[in-house]
Amino acid sequence: MFDIGFLELLFIGVVALLVLGPERLPRAARTAGMWIGRIKRTVSGMQREINAQLEAEELRQKLNEQQKKLDEGLDRVKRDVERSVETPSERGTGAAPRERAEATPERRLDDALGRARRQTDDSDADAHEDASSR
């Protein structure tokens, strides 16, 4: 921290001995040591807090980057699903994209679920007909 050599410390000690005297010098040295220790602990605590804050900020930035990547992936999957889920009338007539956009996502999902159920019901009916014909 400070560039204090042995000669400087010796000079400070001699001046302190002359000014304070031999009776008060040990108590003054103890008090000075106590204050220096407190200052060092305070500085090291502040350094730890700063380092912790920097690490937390780095983690927040990484988390935000990952969140953006996840959001982009989710948007991409959502667009792919919306493109793949078309109503039968849209496939046959080539409905305009504006008409597809007017259908709510909930409506398109309901239509897709209905088609899936009908296909399941049809395949179940075919399986029963095959079983009864044997």
85 pLDDT higher than 70: yes
- pLDDT of 36-62, one tens digit each? 999 999 999 999 999 999 999 999 999
- Tell me the average pLDDT across 67-79: 89
31 pLDDT higher than 80: yes
- Rounded Cα gap, residues 105 and 85, in angstroms: 10
For residue 2, how far is the Cα from the chain centroid? 41
pLDDT of residue 102: 64
pTM of structure: 0.44
Burial class (CB in 10 A: 0-12, 13-18, 19+), 20: middle
100 pLDDT higher than 80: no
Alpha-carbon distance values, 123 to 30, 39, 80, 85, 109 (Å): 92, 80, 27, 21, 21
- Closest-CA residue to 13 (of 4, 25, 3, 5): 25
